[in-house]
Structure 1
Amino acid sequence: MTTTIKHGNLSAEIKHFGAELISLKTNQNREYIWEGNPEFWGKHSPILFPIVGTLKNNSFNHYGIDYHLSRHGFAREMLFELIYATENSATFSIKSSEETLKVYPFEFELQLIYTLNDNNLSIEYKVINKGKLTMPFSIGAHPAFALLNHFENYAIAFEKEESLEYYLLENDLISNKTKKLEVRNKQIPLTYDLFKNDALIFKTLQSNTLTILENENPILRVHFEDFPNLGIWTKMNAPFLCIEPWFGYSDTNENSGNLFEKEGIQILESNATFHSKFSIEIL
């Protein structure tokens, strides 16, 4: 089941399973979201919650009990309820359940709010701690943008001057190895060789927006003012690029297994609400 919202020249389609954005297109049928061809990657724009990336041994310990939590968490594999909709907005929700408590012993509600305005789709995350104790979590976006031309015809433009250093993954965990990216005129030309070691993971950036250039022309901009971390990823020879604003990232090999001590983790007090928002602007 899906819900479609519209405003002006744009429409967006959201699948209720995972509350996943599966289409963002213009009235001229220019599609900006990856089609989800499983030959490369069968997702479109999954929500990452209550972790981003991978835990060491895919587990954590809470009050002496080990819990198994798979990569990127479980929200992307859950059926969301549509709780509010207008012509240009839709709000989806999941809540903790007997099944989620088996792998993540915290009571929560997660809402995703999609809103179209002018040439912009905003995606707001609302995390509510429904329990009596503090709750550790990470949350992140994973939108894949369709690239209609050859991959090398594209570039990423950063909002500000950057000295770019990204962290390398080893067995899906953050290593202590880093690489530097050469940035010219605030831009990085795209090549598949950039991603031969998996995603580019940035713990810090000066920029709050990234722009995708197609043959030097800006076509799409991702605004992520609220998010401290970022991943950029594609698969070899795949015609898409993921720009992923995050709160948090994978464990390191030195991680203690205590979520409260995890680097990049968010801590939410009882009955408190966490808000964050990013947006996709069509240029």
Structure 2
Amino acid sequence: MITTISNSFLTAQIKHLGAELSSLKDNSNKEYIWNGNPDFWGKHSPVLFPIVGTLKNNSFQYKDAQYQLSRHGFAREMEFELIDKQENKSTFSLVSSPKTKEKYPFDFDLHLIYTLENKSLKIEYKVFNNGETKMPFSIGAHPAFDLPGDFENYSLTFEKEGTLNYYILEDGLISNTTDELHLDKNKLPLNYELFKNDALVFKNIDSKSITILEKSKPFLKVNYTDFPDLGIWTPNAPFICIEPWFGYSDTVDKSGDLFDKEGIQLLEPKAVFHSEFSIEIL
């Protein structure tokens, strides 16, 4: 199933599977979200929960038991319930179940809330800890923005100038090796060579917005003030993913204890976590 929301400027479509944004168009019918062509990558904008990235050995320990949890978690592969629908807003819910507890033994309710406000789509995450113990989790966004034509016609402008340090991935895990990204002022011209070692992973990034430009003309901006971490990725495809995160993959020397995981969020019993980011059409 797909739910559509709209306002005077934009129309968005969200799949109930994964509560995944699958389309964002303006009044001229220009599409901004990747079409999900499986020859490159069959997703559009999945939510990453209850982990971001990869766990070492795809597993973790909790209370003397071991659990298997695959890359980016399971929420993106599960059917969400539409619990509120307005013309310009929709709210989706995924509640823990015996099926989720086989992989992640915590009681949660995950809400994704999509709201169109003028020329922006606001995406909110709410995580409810319905259990009696602290709940460790990570959550992140993975929107893929369509870049038709020559990939090298595009560039990214970061909110702040300066050299950026990013972490090199090693078999999907965060290695102890970093590299530098040298910006021209605050601009990064795109080319596929940047992604030869997979995604660029930034911990505690200072820039809280990134603008995509085509031939130096800005057309879309991602604002992620709430989020500490960021990934940027493409699999040599005609799109770019700008991914605000709370957390990231395990480090190569990780212990396997989810509570000790670098970047993990620990939510108190009966507490609610809330964050949001926006996609702004310029």
Q: Which residue of 2 aligns with 1:264?
A: 263
Work out the CA distance in 2 between the residues paired with 1:205 and 1:48: 19
Q: What are the superposed Cα offsets for residues 183-238 of structure 1, whole Å, 9 maximum, x if unpaired? A: 112000000000011000000221110000111000000000000000000012x1
| Amino acid of the structure 2 residue aligned with 1:34 | W
| Amino acid of the structure 2 residue aligned with 1:119 | K
Q: How does 1:33-182 map to 2 (within 5 A)?
A: 33-182=33-182
Q: How does 1:177-188 map to 2 (within 5 A)?
A: 177-188=177-188
Work out the CA distance in 2 between the residues paired with 1:137 and 1:205: 20
- In the TM superposition, residue 249 of structure 1 has moved relative to its aligned partner by 0.2
- In the TM superposition, residue 280 of structure 1 has moved relative to its aligned partner by 0.1
Q: What are the superposed Cα offsets for residues 106-131 of structure 1, whole Å, 9 maximum, x if unpaired? A: 00000000000100000000000000
Work out the CA distance in 1 between the residues paired with 2:149 and 2:118: 26
- In the TM superposition, residue 149 of structure 1 has moved relative to its aligned partner by 2.5
Work out the CA distance in 1 between the residues paired with 2:162 and 2:143: 23
| 8 Å Cα contact 1:161/1:206 also seen in 2 | no
Work out the CA distance in 2 between the residues paired with 1:179 and 1:197: 11
What stretches of structure 1 of length at least 5 have no aligned partner?
Answer: none
Q: Which residue of 1 aligns with 2:6?
A: 6
Q: How does 1:238-253 map to 2 (within 5 A)?
A: 238-253=237-252
Amino-acid identity (%): 64
| 8 Å Cα contact 1:162/1:205 also seen in 2 | no
Work out the CA distance in 2 between the residues paired with 1:149 and 1:88: 31
Work out the CA distance in 1 between the residues paired with 2:73 and 2:21: 17
How many residues align structurally?
A: 282
TM-score by length of 1: 0.99
RMSD: 0.6
Work out the CA distance in 1 between the residues paired with 2:252 and 2:62: 18
TM-score by length of 2: 0.99
| 8 Å Cα contact 2:156/2:213 also seen in 1 | yes
- In the TM superposition, residue 253 of structure 1 has moved relative to its aligned partner by 1.7
Work out the CA distance in 2 between the residues paired with 1:252 and 1:184: 30
SS at match of 2:31: coil
SS at match of 2:278: strand
Deviation beyond 2 Å, 4+ runs, structure 1: none
| Amino acid of the structure 2 residue aligned with 1:2 | I
